[in-house]
């Protein structure tokens, strides 16, 4: 029995810790602020953190390969600004949305190509991607561009009531992230692509020697991250009905923090997308508690997220040091 429990805990320890912390944080919040017990607050987590969840899903896959994508916030800002600018010019949203997704995928695959074939370190290439995307957003518009398009407004503001729960609703845009989450779960657990990702994260050299298509997978992973960021940009611009180059500053850290909180190891190969969901939920819970408190200022979120990342990196190293003693320095 003990022999079965121990590997189970070593394998799912970080994930279980994350879920436990999320439940604990949520219950604590509910005790402190009774208004937080309403079911709508739970759905608000998805409404408010929809774009963060999207970005984090892409980030999880990238981190699983052992890389990192710092460009997510930039791509988000770029697609939100570009879509807002195009909509203002009178382009149909049915053209704008696919176009923005193409931009995201193209941008991501370009970064992946630079990383894979020109052998630039992932964080340098994507850091440049971040600044480049933000710069492009500013070139499109130096100020915030508001969106008055009717399709966007309908998508952003039509409530969808949740069955069986009274007065609880989400917006159509909220549903994007859970759908992509399901897609990512399918991709990472049930496809060759997913297994190649894990193999690469554990040891790229041996993955290559096994005959796996490392190069193609790496480019595809960054392209997927770009796709997620572009979707996040559209969701973000719909929820705020505006596009601006300064949107989502520091979102890279929020996403990395959520991924790390979800039990994914930064050295790659360990973790999964489901954990990321709970990482994002923890982030959302912290933000809602801060909002319910009302006296704490916004910068505490930044400091809190930084501190939490650190704690979870610590928790992870506790778990993985036992598991892989040979890998640590």
Partner 1 sequence: MWKRIRESRLLWPFVAWIIILAFDAIVEPGFFRLGIIEDPVYGKHLYGNLVDIFNNGAPLMLVAIGMTLVIATGGVDLSVGAVIAISAAMGAVLINPALGNQLITNDILTKNATNTPLPLIILADLAAGTLCGLWNGILVSRAKIQPMVATLILMVAGRGIAQLITNGQIMTIYYTPYFWFGNGYILGLPVSIYIVAVVFLLAWLLVRKTAIGLFVESVGINAKSTYYSGINEQNVKLLAYTFCGFCGAIAGLILSSYVHSADGNNNGLNYELDAILAVVMGGTLMSGGRFSMFASVIGAVVIWTFTVTVYSLGVPANALLAAKAVLVMVVILLYSDYTRRFMNRLFERRGTQHGTAD
- DSSP code of residue 162: P
Calculate the dihedral angle through the C-alpha atoms of 98, 53, 133, 130, rounding to the nearest 10 degrees.
-150
Comparison of 4 and 329: residue with beta carbon closer to partner 1: 329
Nearest CB to partner 1, comparing residues 112 and 129:
129
Identify which of residues 166 and 314 has a Cβ nearer to partner 1 in the complex.
314
Pairing between strand 169-170 and 242-243?
unpaired
CB contact at 8 A, 260 and 314? no
Q: Which is nearer to partner 1, 130 or 156 (CB)?
A: 130
**Of the two residues 40 and 141, which places its CB atom closer to partner 1 in the complex?**
141
User: Residue 96's closest CA among 77, 110, 81?
Assistant: 81
Quote the least distance from Cβ 128 to partner 1, whole Å. Answer: 4
Whole-number minimum distance, CB 306 to partner 1, in Å?
3
Phi, psi of 194 (to 5 degrees): -65, -45
Where on the chain is the footprint of partner 1 (CB under 8 A)?
Answer: 68, 70, 114, 118-121, 123-125, 127-132, 134-136, 138-139, 142, 245, 250, 252-253, 256, 266-267, 297-303, 305-307, 309-310, 313-314, 317, 328-329
Q: Which is nearer to partner 1, 114 or 147 (CB)?
A: 114
Least separation in angstroms between CB 94 and partner 1: 28
Smallest distance from partner 1 to CB 159, Å: 33
Q: For the chain, state the CA radius of gyration.
A: 20
Return the closest-CA partner of residue 168 out of 41, 45, 31, 36.
Answer: 41
- CB of 234 closer than 8 Å to CB of 70: no
Query: Least separation, in Å, of the C-beta of 195 and partner 1?
Result: 25
What's the min distance (Å) between Cβ of 283 and partner 1? 13
Q: How far is CA 249 from the centre of its chain?
A: 14
Nearest CA to 305 out of 270, 248, 261, 249 is that of: 261
């Amino acid at each position: 029995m003990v022999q079965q429990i121990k590997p189970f805990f070593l394998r799912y320890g970080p994930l279980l810790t994350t879920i436990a912390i999320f439940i604990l944080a949520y219950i604590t919040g509910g005790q402190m602020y009774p208004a937080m017990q309403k079911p709508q607050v739970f759905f608000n987590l998805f409404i408010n953190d929809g774009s963060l969840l999207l970005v984090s899903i892409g980030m999880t896959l990238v981190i699983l390969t052992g890389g990192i994508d710092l460009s997510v916030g930039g791509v988000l800002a770029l697609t939100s600004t570009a879509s807002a600018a195009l909509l203002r010019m009178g382009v149909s949203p049915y053209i704008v949305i696919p176009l923005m997704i193409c931009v995201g995928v193209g941008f991501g695959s370009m970064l992946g190509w630079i990383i894979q074939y020109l052998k630039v370190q992932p964080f340098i290439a994507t850091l440049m991607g971040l600044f480049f995307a933000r710069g492009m957003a500013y070139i499109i518009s130096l100020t915030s561009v508001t969106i008055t398009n009717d399709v966007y407004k309908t998508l952003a503001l039509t409530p969808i009531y949740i069955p069986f729960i009274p007065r609880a609703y989400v917006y159509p845009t909220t549903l994007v992230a859970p759908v992509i989450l399901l897609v990512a779960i399918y991709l990472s657990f049930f496809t060759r692509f997913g297994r190649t990702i894990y193999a690469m994260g554990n040891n790229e050299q041996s993955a290559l020697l096994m005959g796996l298509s490392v190069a193609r997978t790496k480019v595809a992973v960054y392209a997927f991250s770009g796709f997620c960021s572009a979707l996040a940009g559209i969701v973000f611009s719909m929820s705020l009905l505006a596009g601006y180059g300064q949107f989502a500053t520091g979102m890279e850290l929020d996403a990395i923090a959520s991924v790390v909180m979800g039990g994914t190891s930064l050295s790659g190969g360990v973790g999964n997308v489901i954990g990321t969901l709970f990482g994002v939920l923890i982030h959302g819970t912290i933000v809602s508690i801060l909002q319910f408190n009302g006296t704490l200022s916004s910068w505490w979120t930044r400091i809190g997220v930084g501190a939490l990342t650190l704690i979870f990196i610590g928790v992870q190293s506790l778990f993985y040091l036992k598991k892989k003693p040979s890998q640590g320095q």
